[in-house]
């Protein structure tokens, strides 16, 4: 079931009314919301991906039961770990580790099978082809369950927190099941940890006029982002260009990348706004998932502002454990592994392997650039910089030729440009040392790294990505953008959407929210009706699934 549809309105109104009426009956309200959440999940979107098969609910229930049981058993064995009997303590540690492994294997095994099995089979065949072994890969008819990447991490965090001593097990199975399947954020986040949501479910909802106003405002903001800056730009610009990139000029391809960079932010953050707003109407606070990410000064800050709940999850459950095991010297390994997993979480293809490594390498470089010795003699700095630029340019040219299939002439000049940019970044002062102008330069550089990395996020396969890269490398800017490709209203949405994103956060979240609260109810009602009618006209009766549904 998609948020910007009449079907969702017909669902959410009785769901809210029933929950509000049962606010003083904890068991009944939990069961009501649990049934409503399963109904929401199984209703599925009436577009791509197709409606959920019945066994999807079984997978969701399996993860719920698995982690509920594993968490309980891990906690029950905790006192024996401190036993004075060494044999008893060792046995308890083994059994706790066994229950933890059962949770990890069960959850990640299902995720790996449904999301990555066909890619692994294809990758094995591709790697065999490199050594002239011809293998026809087996392709399994697997449908990716809706939201499995989100609810797997959410449910798994419960077991991991209990094992780490950060959480007591939840005694009520129905309440834990509601935590896993809570419908506002079930299929596309934010990824909520048990330590954040379970205490709210135990305490019960907190209703207030302020919460309702905040929830309504967030929902309206999310719908505007999704429909206007997400779907409308996609239909009238980006989809056509990405579907046939070979038919467009370098300037048009670059325009599509800028547009898609706005589109994906509006689509995903729009979903988050609607989810958080719906949660507020129910009396619960969901965590923020976005914080003006394109204003980031570097790539590491970007991942602290974009999909914050995913990067936070991997930081807590991957980065810190790896650092603890490897020590400070393993910092770069931990950074690369964490960022690689962030990238690969988004999809299973060679495109996402490139995307993951690109972001992982950028974060590793950022860490090195911030901690390297900058007090060397000038001659040594200059010599080292020139050597590094040449090596970096050569590596990039080789990757452009062998991975992205650019001719050596194009690969060489692209690698050379990237080497110059690399040298420029190395010579720039750090953002916090160069004043406002240098901060703007770092924001522009980081933003364009994100724009170009979207090639591998959006392209339909590696061949499509190669076509886009080749088209950009042609650098035929003289041909420009053909008349009629961008309508005036699309141009306004594109420019306006990016401009608003680079404004201070309080302009929307505080000032516009203040105007919303002060506006009389009858005026808001009229505006909301007109707003809804306008969105329906823009959608033309065909809502599009959120981009992150496919992850």
Residue 163: phi and psi, rounded to 5, are -65, -35
Helices 331-345 + 350-371 axis angle, to 10: 150
Q: Record the tokens describing residue 298, joined without a space.
A: 């570097």
Residue 303: the pLDDT is 92
Is 60 within 8 Å of 180 (Cβ atoms)?
yes
546: pLDDT strictly greater than 70:
no
The number of angstroms, rounded, from the C-alpha of 132 to the middle of its chain's C-alpha atoms is 37
Distance (Å, rounded) from C-alpha 424 to C-alpha 447? 16
Q: Where are the alpha helices (DSSP H) in 285-377?
A: 299-305, 308-314, 320-326, 331-345, 350-371
Lowest mean pLDDT among 153-167, 341-355, 452-466: 341-355
Residue 547: the pLDDT is 65
Q: Render pLDDT for 415-466 as a digit per residue (tens, 0 to 9).
A: 898 888 888 888 888 887 777 888 898 999 999 999 999 999 888 888 899 9
Q: Which long-range contacts (CB under 8 A, 24 or more apart) does 52-59 make?
A: 52/145, 52/146, 53/143, 56/145, 56/146, 59/110, 59/145, 59/148
Q: Which of 163, 236, 307, 346 is catalytic?
A: 346
Active site includes 139? no
Q: Render pLDDT for 28-52 as a digit per residue (tens, 0 to 9).
A: 989 999 999 999 888 865 545 456 6
Residue 69: the pLDDT is 93
Is 506 buried (19+), middle (13-18) or exposed (0-12) by CB count in 10 A? exposed
Residue recorded with tokens 């891990």: 74
Residue 148: the pLDDT is 87
Task: Encode 95-120: b = buried (16+ Cβ within 10 Å), e = exposed.
Answer: bbeebbebbeebbeebbeebbbebbe
**480 versus 105: which is more confidently predicted?**
105
Residue 516: the pLDDT is 78
Tell me the helices (H) and strands (E) count for the chain, helix number first: 25, 0
Q: Could you tell me the pTM of the whole model? A: 0.88
Distance (Å, rounded) from C-alpha 215 to C-alpha 282? 9
Instruction: Tell me what percent of the residues of the chain surpass a pLDDT of 70.
Output: 94
Confidence of residue 57 (pLDDT cuts 50, 70, 90): confident
CB atoms closer than 10 angstroms to residue 382: 12
Alpha-carbon Rg for the chain, nearest whole angstrom, is: 25
Residue 376: the pLDDT is 75
Q: What is the mean pLDDT of the chain?
A: 85
Residue ranges per structural domain of the chain: 1-123+143-205, 206-290+461-551, 297-371, 373-427
Residue 324: the pLDDT is 77
The number of angstroms, rounded, from the C-alpha of 510 to the middle of its chain's C-alpha atoms is 25
Among 5-14, 277-286, 430-439, the range of highest mean pLDDT: 277-286
Q: Render pLDDT for 203-231 as a digit per residue (tens, 0 to 9).
A: 878 878 888 888 888 888 888 888 888 88
Is 343 within 8 Å of 360 (Cβ atoms)?
yes
14: pLDDT strictly greater than 80:
yes
Lowest mean pLDDT among 4-8, 282-286, 471-475, 539-543: 539-543
Q: Does the bond joining 329 to the residue before it have cis omega, within 30 degrees of 0? A: no
Q: Record the tokens describing residue 412, joined without a space.
A: 């060489």
CB atoms closer than 10 angstroms to residue 324: 10
3-class SS string, 382-449: HHHHHHHHHHHHHHHHHHHHHCCCCCHHHHHHHHHHHHHHHHHHHHCCCCCCCHHHHHHHHHHHHHHH
Task: For residue 416, give every residue at least 6 positions away whose Cβ sits within 8 Å of its Cβ, in sequence order, or none.
Answer: 393, 397
């Amino acid at each position: 079931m998609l948020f910007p549809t009449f079907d969702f309105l017909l669902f959410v109104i009785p769901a809210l009314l029933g929950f509000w009426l049962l606010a003083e009956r904890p068991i009944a309200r939990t069961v009501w919301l649990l049934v409503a959440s399963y109904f929401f999940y199984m209703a599925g979107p009436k577009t791509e991906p197709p409606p959920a098969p019945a066994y999807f609910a079984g997978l969701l229930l399996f993860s719920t039961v698995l982690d509920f049981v594993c968490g309980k058993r891990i906690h029950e064995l905790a006192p024996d770990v401190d036993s004075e009997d060494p044999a008893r303590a060792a046995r308890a540690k083994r059994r706790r580790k066994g229950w933890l492994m059962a949770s990890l294997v069960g959850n990640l095994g299902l995720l790996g099978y449904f999301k990555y099995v066909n890619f692994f089979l294809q990758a094995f065949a591709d790697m065999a082809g490199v050594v002239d072994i011809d293998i026809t890969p087996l392709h399994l008819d697997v449908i990716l369950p809706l939201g499995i990447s989100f609810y797997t991490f959410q449910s798994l965090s419960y077991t991991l927190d209990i094992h780490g001593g950060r959480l007591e097990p939840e005694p009520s199975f129905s309440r834990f099941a509601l935590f896993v399947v809570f419908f506002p954020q079930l299929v596309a986040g934010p990824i909520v940890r048990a330590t954040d949501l379970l205490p709210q479910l135990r305490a019960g909802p907190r209703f207030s006029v302020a919460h309702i106003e905040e929830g309504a405002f967030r929902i309206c903001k999310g719908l505007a982002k999704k429909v206007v800056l997400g779907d409308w730009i996609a239909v009238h610009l980006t989809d056509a260009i990405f579907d046939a990139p070979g038919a467009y000029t370098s300037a048009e391809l670059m325009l599509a990348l800028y547009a898609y960079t706005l589109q994906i932010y509006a689509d995903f953050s729009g979903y988050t706004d609607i989810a958080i707003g719906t949660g507020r109407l129910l009396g619960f606070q969901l965590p923020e998932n976005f914080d003006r990410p394109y204003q980031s000064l570097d790539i590491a800050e970007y991942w602290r502002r974009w999909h914050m709940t995913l990067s936070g999850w991997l930081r807590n459950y991957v980065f810190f454990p790896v650092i603890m095991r490897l020590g400070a010297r393993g910092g770069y390994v931990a950074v690369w592994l964490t960022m690689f997993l962030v990238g690969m979480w988004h999809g299973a293809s060679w495109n996402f392997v490139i995307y993951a490594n690109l972001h992982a390498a950028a974060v590793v470089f950022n860490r090195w650039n911030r901690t390297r010795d900058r007090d060397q003699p000038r001659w040594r700095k200059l010599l080292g910089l020139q050597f590094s630029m040449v090596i970096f340019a050569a590596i990039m040219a080789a990757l452009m030729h062998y991975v992205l299939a650019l001719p050596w002439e194009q690969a060489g000049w692209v690698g050379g440009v990237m080497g110059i940019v690399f040298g420029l970044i190395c010579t720039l002062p750090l953002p916090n040392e160069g004043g406002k102008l240098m901060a703007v330069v770092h924001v522009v550089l980081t933003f364009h790294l994100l724009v170009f990395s979207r090639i591998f996020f959006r392209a339909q396969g590696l061949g499509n990505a190669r076509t886009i890269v080749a088209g950009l490398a042609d650098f035929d800017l003289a041909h420009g953008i053909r008349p009629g490709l961008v309508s005036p209203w699309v141009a306004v949405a594109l420019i306006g959407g990016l401009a608003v994103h680079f404004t201070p956060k309080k302009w929307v979240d505080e000032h516009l929210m203040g105007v919303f609260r002060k506006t009389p109810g009858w005026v808001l009602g009229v505006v909301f009706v007109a707003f809804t009618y306008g969105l329906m006209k823009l959608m033309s009766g065909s809502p599009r699934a959120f981009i992150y549904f496919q992850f």
